[in-house]
Every structure is written in structure tokens, then in C-alpha cells.
Amino acid sequence: MKNYYEILQIPRNASNNQIKAAFRRLARQYHPDYNPNDPEAVTKFREIEQAYRVLSDKDKRKEYDRSLSPEIPTFQRSAEDFYQQGWHYAQEKNYQLAIAFYQQAIAINPQFWQAYLQRAEVYYHNQQDRQVLSDCRQVLQLKPDCSQAYYYLGLSRQRLGYTQSSLEAYGKAIAIDQNNPQFYYQRGLALEELSELPAARKDFQIAAKKFKQQGNFRRYHAIINKLKYVHKSYRQQQSIKWSKTLFIIFNLLKISFLSLLKPKTGLAESFFKLDRNQALATGILAAIVSSFFIAFTWQNWTVKSEFLLLLGWAAFPFITLTLSSWLGRKLSNKYGSFTGDIFLAGLIILPFSIIILLTSYLSINGDIIGAIIGVTGGYLTGILYYSYRHLSNISSQISLLLLPFVLGFLTVNIWGVYYYL
């Protein structure tokens, strides 16, 4: 006659949870209500009940264990037996019992990498991500080229929030097995999570193609629908980027022209309202926009040189103003920053570039255009002087010395290109 451990199909050192799980499984299988025409099921069910009553009671189990004769073999199985039983329970989604059997397999054979891998999969389905990471590392020590271990490593990293790190794991899984579409699909999801939509779309396309080649049309159509959503998200993302860019440009223009209304302190007040990165970006963007405006102005004035050459010359006013502010600070031994120099230069040259560009489109008397440019230049010269003083902290004497040199160079640059190119 089988002993109670054999009846419940559990090892001699089974835990209480294993005993309960085995009883529930076998009781469902052999319960008389489910087997009305099978008298053997009734007998089997009674054996199971008797075995459970004894083994589930701590004192009765001790007494029973002492009664077992050494000649009577207990329920001994190999690591492979436990592994197969664990796989069976995993398919039934009985994860706790599957983990217990995989544990028994590993205890018998610590080098059994398949048991670690299957236990990692069960841990993942059971939301135990830290254990997944541990088992995957163990698998990779025993079998470094196991693509599934890298795959589950990536899945758990991603669920734990380490999405960037998960990309590395998915990449290694793909490098080992380039024909598994699930690897590409999961990496695509990680890339989508990081808003790297073009790269995500590429991985989804590869996954869809491979699923189709395998005849898995359900997954193929699901990913095709996913691609439509990703494409829509990408277009929305690009639209948002353009909207942000337009907002920055609008804000730049607003700061610039509001500063004109307060010639003494306007630029300084605007600068101190921004942080360092905002001020730097504003100054550089103003320089880029003004360079294009000046180059377009020269083209409208029928300067026949290549546009890129004109664009290069158009950057000199900004460079001159930036260096003049920097030099003035050094000569005055005053505190300040190069970011402030860039901000000042960009927002001084931008209004001037707008005015000369607009006048290049006007069909009016040249003297009137000259007067408009002259008045604008004079007004901006006053703003430049006060900006030297309040934004760059340059002394009054050095500011007055810098102005004629700066204005002279700007005049030679603007009009020299018109006359000599």
C-alpha cells in the first residue's frame, strides 16, 4: 500500500502549503460528485482524505513519520520529476505550487538552469519582480546565451520602472535570437514608454512582419492597429514640439519689444526674470532669427552672394555685441555672466534686424527708409548704453568708449556687405 506522501504525490519534506494544495487538487479530481459512475474514485477520495487528515495535523504527522519503516520507500523523485510537475502547475496558473516544485528541483540540482528560468517566468506572472531579476541572473551565470532570461530580465526591469535599463536586456535577447517577434514587440513598448516613437515604430514593424511569417495573424493584426496609434501619437508629439517652439518664439518677441518700452532697465529686468538656461536659449534664438532676417534683407537689397555666405556675415553683429559686453565687464572689473552678454546681444540686434527687413519690402523714398533705420538705430543705441550699465554692470566711462567702436563696426558690417558683395 502507498504511504500518505505517495497518495498526495508530495515529497517527504513537503510544507503545509504544499500538502493543502495537493489535497485540493486531488480532491477535485477524485470527488464522487464529479465521478458518479466510478467506484474507484470513491476509494481514491477516501485515501486522499485520510492522508490529508494525518499529514495536515502536526502531531499526527510526527507520529506517522516515526511509524514509517526504513524499508518502506518514501516518495522519492528526481529534479526532472519536480520540474515537470512545476511546469504542469504553471500551466494551470497555480503559481505558488509551481514555485514550490521548481524549488525542489533546484534543491536537488542547483545547476538546473531550466528550473530557474521557469521559476522566473512564474515569478513574473505572480508580480514578484525582484525574484525574477535574481533567477534571471542565476540562469545567465549557468547559460550566458539564454535569450529568454534576458527577455524576462527586461520585462521585470520595465515593470519596476527601469525602462532605459530594460532596453539593454531586450537588445541582448534580440542579439541572441533575432527571430523572436515578441522580443521586438516588447522593446517597442519600452521605447514607446520613453517617447522614442520612431524607434518604437520600427520595432513594431519588425514584430508584425515576423508574426505574419509565423502564421500568427491575430498578433499581426493587433500590432498593425498598434502601429496606427503610434503613428498618430508621433504626429501629435511633433505638433506639440512645434507649438512649444512657436510659443518660445512668441515669448522671445514679447520680451524683446516690451524691453523697448523701458530703454533704461527693460532688458535687465527681463534677464533677471529668467533662469540661466532660459536666458541663454532666448539670446541664442534671437541671434539665429536676427541673422536670418539680416541675410534676407541683403537678398532683398539684391546682394547676389550665396545665402549661406550672407548668413555667416549676418552673425557678426551678434558676435560683436556679445564680445563688446564681455570686454566691457573685464575692463570694469565688475561681476556679470557670459549668458548675460549673449542675452543682451541677441535682444539688441533682433529689433534692428526686424526693422531693416520690413523696410526692404517697402516701396517708398530711400530717404524715408534711411530716416526710419536711423531713428531705430539711435533708439537702440540708447538701450545698448543702459543695458551695458544695468545688465552687464559696465562703468559709464567704458560704456561710452565702447559705443562708437561697436556702432562703427556694425555699420561697416551691414552696409559693407551691401556695397561690396
Single-letter code of the amino acid located at 150: Y
List own/partner pairs for 408-412 with CB under 8 A and 24 or more apart.
409/320, 410/317, 410/320, 410/321
| Domain chopping of the chain, boundaries | 2-66, 77-237, 242-418
What residue spans of 214-314 are helical by DSSP H? Answer: 217-260, 266-273, 276-300, 307-314
Give domain 2-66's CATH architecture. Answer: Orthogonal Bundle (1.10)
pLDDT recorded at residue 242 = 58
- The number of angstroms, rounded, from the C-alpha of 295 to the middle of its chain's C-alpha atoms is 39
77-237 has CATH 3.30.450.20 classification? no
Using alpha carbons only, how large is the chain's radius of gyration in Å?
39
131-141 CB burial, b ≥16 within 10 A, e <16: bbbbbbebbbe
Q: pLDDT per position in the chain (421 positions), as tens?
A: 467 887 887 877 888 888 888 888 888 778 877 777 777 777 888 888 888 888 888 888 887 777 665 444 445 678 888 888 888 888 888 888 888 889 888 888 989 999 999 999 999 998 899 999 999 999 999 999 999 999 999 999 999 999 999 999 999 999 999 999 999 999 988 988 888 878 888 888 898 899 889 888 888 888 888 777 766 665 665 555 555 666 666 666 666 566 667 777 777 887 877 778 878 888 888 899 889 998 888 888 777 778 888 888 888 889 999 999 888 888 887 667 888 899 888 888 888 888 888 888 877 666 777 787 788 778 888 888 888 888 888 888 888 888 888 888 888 877 777 666 5
Whether pTM > 0.85 for this model: the answer is: no
DSSP for residue 421:
-
Q: How far is CA 100 from CA 87, 90, 350, in A?
A: 11, 11, 73
